[in-house]
Amino acid sequence: MSVHRFVAPTQREAMRRVREALGDDALIVANRQVPGGVELVALREGEDTPASPPSGEALPMAEGDADVSRLLLKEVETLRALLRRRERGEGAADSPLAATLRGAGFSAALITDVLTGLPEEAGEGDAARAWVEQQLARRLNAQARPWDKLAEGGVLALVGPTGVGKTTTVGKLASHYAMRWGADQVALVSADGYRVAARDQLRVYAELLGVELHPLSPGRTLASLAGVLNDKRLVIIDTVGLGQRDERLAEGFAPLVGGARSTRAVLLLNAASQAETLDEVSTHYRRAARQAGMTLDDVIITKSDEAARMAPLLDVVIGQGLRPWFQCDGQRVPEDLAPLDGAELVRQALNQGDCRTGGTLPFNPLAQTGTLVNTLAVLRREVPGFSWLEQALAGQWQRQPPLPPSDEAGWLFWPVARDEAALVLGKEGEAWPLWPPEQASRIRCLQWCRRHYPSLMPVFSGVPGATNWRWLDRQGLPWLATVSAQARVRYHGDLQPLWALREQAPEQGEALLRRKGRTLRVSLRALPVAAACGRRYSGLVRAWFLQARDPETDRVRGWRYALLPNDWDLSRARPHLLALWRGQAVAGLGQRALRELSESAALSSGDSSPSSHHASYRSAAAGLAALACRLDEEQSDWAVATRGRVLGLLGPRRRRTPERLLTALLHVIRTHDALRLMRAS
């Protein structure tokens, strides 16, 4: 087996080179943007001596990565078998939403990538369609407030093939600018010396608007017009229309550079063109602009009123990462020009696909690779400490990881056994074990944590001992104790178990949380009591009773009991009480993660007790468990999209649970590491 790297100006060209060099059975294992275009890493098995063509650079496999190679080959065979079954229609599960997207004209890669992140709770009806519309509109990345951008002025050059509507669009933009900010502030430049009567049409617009028109003769640049253009706020250039395969395309950008102000090129795309043509136009024009030292990221959509389907155009704009400005839907000047409404355009495209159907949705390994990369990028951006978690999984960990700053207090969960590490849980959902030195005494551990991490609030399993309690009081350090229903406290002079007092406690408020794959409604009750610690020490605290119910059936799912300082009200106690539930869930899930990591290490190393990495695995297990719990609970946009994507990588959608999210996260990180090793080798 050999690995090859291909670099090309566009993804389409890179894929063509892959097929020519390795055949149709090649597997794409990496895809990324690089200076000068796109880089694809592909592999083909059964080739002992790589014979890389000029278009591809061979990357031989290192001997130390033989195990990774065998695992990856096994995955390749599984993917190929699945692809063959889907091509034959075996086990195909095509949803109506996928059929609508395909019928609208969206590509298979984009459909797979979008629907992979579809959250489970969206179902398959209107909620799912609304979510897909929102995701497509967000990816469309329409330029916000384009009129304000136009008001900033500058030098705009409209570029595109012949007949795309450049001259008419120049008239529309100039008309709007002249009506809003004055005709004396805008000038037109005609650089089209090839097309018959091109300047005559632009001269008519200039005379009607009362703006200046300056011809740019062949062989001259904008610098030759500096004397008459420098005092204009907006200069719009009508360029010559050339086909995307025209050899003179790069020369067409040469006159646009060299002026006193930099030129902003805007590409015009015909909505009625085929997707392949639009992709080719965008690719060749952007490459020609780069050769001239310019960037071409902005786009204006023309002739949308002539397009039978808008989805192919939107697919190209999303895939190329272009920024749409305006939309032209007619020949009237200036009426048929408006800022592009991404949400409305996506809705229109999907409506056009409702009456169309297609074949089954193909499995795309390249789309899965992109999902892996995008998911990891989101986690690194949104989750504090995720980069440290990756280091712990790779064995490059710090024994004492960086904890939250003082203004981001966290919780320190003490274990039952003193020889185990304490679990640190941050407010943002990060978690890791902590190994304080000198663990012979709990007081010494508390002193060490107090000195190094003063923002951590200790959480005890049971009421702290008399010595610890006195030390906490002297230090003025608040603490939280999780206690059982049988724990006895003194209330109105009588010693009673907590379970006997829960009905007498007045309700303080409610909260929602996720537990074991379910959303629960938690009722918070509180009662001042005296908690005794031995015979000689007791103190006034507030007992909190947490009752969890199923919101749908109103069935009681369980009780939790905790002790907090007596002067804490609901607003202050709520985050700590909810952290209690989260901490217990993280601790339980962390044990499962630790077992999976240890078993995986034992299989790869042949050692049944890999003690050398035990501390690193314990740290990684705690971090993975906390991240899985956070993804299960959080309802922000990034969390909903991320958990939908990682669960989609596991196969058919099932009920969301922290355990499945943990398995999915392990799959994402391990697969990405395997692909990275393949590429590095």
Between 73 and 166, residue with greater pLDDT: 166
Q: Name the CA radius of gyration of the chain, rounded.
A: 32
pLDDT of residue 404: 59
- In which residue ranges of the chain is CATH 3.40.50.300 found? 146-340
Residues 299-319 have pLDDT tens digits of: 999 988 888 788 888 988 888
Taking CA atoms, 41 is separated from 21, 33, 377, 472, in Å, by 12, 12, 19, 58
- pTM, two decimals, is 0.46
The most confident of 171-185, 534-548, 643-657, by mean pLDDT? 171-185
Per-residue pLDDT, averaged over 477-492, amounts to: 86
Other residues' Cβ atoms within 10 Å of the Cβ of residue 556? 12
Token digits for 539? 């103190």
What DSSP letter does each residue of 244-273 carry, written as one string? TT-TTHHHHHGGGSSSSS-EEEEEEEETTS
Taking CA atoms, 208 is separated from 181, 187, 198, 277, 554, in Å, by 16, 13, 16, 35, 72
Residue 121 makes CB contacts below 8 A (sequence gap 6+) with 127, 656
Per-residue pLDDT, averaged over 589-600, amounts to: 77
Token digits for 371? 């999902």
Please state, in angstroms and rounded to a whole number, the distance separating the CA atoms of residues 541 and 529: 6
pLDDT of residue 55: 44
At residue 184, does pLDDT exceed 70? Answer: yes
Please state, in angstroms and rounded to a whole number, the distance separating the CA atoms of residues 493 and 530: 9
Name the 3-class secondary structure at 408. Answer: coil
Q: Which amino acid, one-letter code, is at 567?
A: D
Per-residue pLDDT, averaged over 120-144, amounts to: 78
Residues 336-369 have pLDDT tens digits of: 788 888 888 888 888 776 545 433 333 344 446 6
Please state, in angstroms and rounded to a whole number, the distance separating the CA atoms of residues 265 and 256: 9
Burial of 23 (0-12, 13-18, 19+ CB in 10 A): exposed
Between 527 and 592, residue with greater pLDDT: 527
Name the 3-class secondary structure at 95. Answer: coil
Per-residue pLDDT, averaged over 567-596, amounts to: 83
pLDDT band at 545 (very low <50, low <70, confident <90, very high): very high
Other residues' Cβ atoms within 10 Å of the Cβ of residue 28? 21
pLDDT of residue 49: 36
Token digits for 530? 């005296």
pLDDT of residue 678: 61
Burial of 480 (0-12, 13-18, 19+ CB in 10 A): buried
Taking CA atoms, 486 is separated from 507, 524, 564, 579, 630, in Å, by 21, 19, 17, 22, 31
Low-confidence winner among 149-153, 264-268, 377-381, 385-389 (lowest mean pLDDT): 385-389
At residue 144, does pLDDT exceed 50? Answer: yes
CATH of span 146-340: 3.40.50.300
Residues 439-472 have pLDDT tens digits of: 556 777 778 777 777 778 888 888 887 778 888 8
At residue 108, does pLDDT exceed 60? Answer: yes
pLDDT of residue 675: 63
pLDDT of residue 543: 92
Taking CA atoms, 198 is separated from 125, 249, 375, in Å, by 51, 18, 49
Q: How many residues in total does the chain contain?
A: 681
Q: What is the 3-state secondary structure (H, E, C) of 354-386?
A: CCCCCCCCCCCHHHHHHHHHHHHHHHHHHCCCH
Per-residue pLDDT, averaged over 623-644, amounts to: 82
pLDDT band at 606 (very low <50, low <70, confident <90, very high): very low
pLDDT band at 210 (very low <50, low <70, confident <90, very high): confident
Low-confidence winner among 210-224, 424-438, 484-498 (lowest mean pLDDT): 424-438
At residue 61, does pLDDT exceed 60? Answer: no
Per-residue pLDDT, averaged over 321-338, amounts to: 83
Per-residue pLDDT, averaged over 330-334, amounts to: 79
At residue 86, does pLDDT exceed 50? Answer: no
- Count how many Cα atoms sit within 13 Å of the Cα of residue 35 in the half-sphere of its side chain: 1
Residue 291 makes CB contacts below 8 A (sequence gap 6+) with 250, 253
Please state, in angstroms and rounded to a whole number, the distance separating the CA atoms of residues 372 and 671: 8
Low-confidence winner among 259-273, 276-290, 608-622 (lowest mean pLDDT): 608-622
At residue 121, does pLDDT exceed 70? Answer: no
| H or E stretch covering 102 | helix 96-104
At residue 599, does pLDDT exceed 70? Answer: no
Q: Which amino acid, one-letter code, is at 19?
A: R
pLDDT of residue 408: 62
Low-confidence winner among 36-50, 542-556, 566-580 (lowest mean pLDDT): 36-50
- Bridge partners of residue 529, in order along the sequence: 541
**Phi, psi torsion values for 565, nearest 5 degrees:** -55, 145
Owner of token pair 């986690």 = 379
Token digits for 439? 């663990």
Q: Directed axis angle between helix 637-648 and helix 658-680, to 10°?
A: 70
Q: Tell me if the bond preceding 565 is cis, omega within 30° of 0.
A: no
At residue 123, does pLDDT exceed 50? Answer: yes
Token digits for 226? 């500096």
Per-residue pLDDT, averaged over 121-125, amounts to: 67
Per-residue pLDDT, averaged over 538-549, amounts to: 86
Owner of token pair 């230090």 = 475
Task: Please calculate the CA angle 40-364-393 and round it to the nearest 5 degrees.
Answer: 70
* Residue 224: alpha-carbon gap to chain centroid: 47
pLDDT of residue 165: 86
Token digits for 397? 């960990």
Percent of residues, the chain, with pLDDT higher than 90: 2
User: Chain-wide mean pLDDT for the chain?
Assistant: 75
pLDDT of residue 92: 31
Residues 388-423 have pLDDT tens digits of: 777 777 666 555 555 655 556 688 877 555 445 677
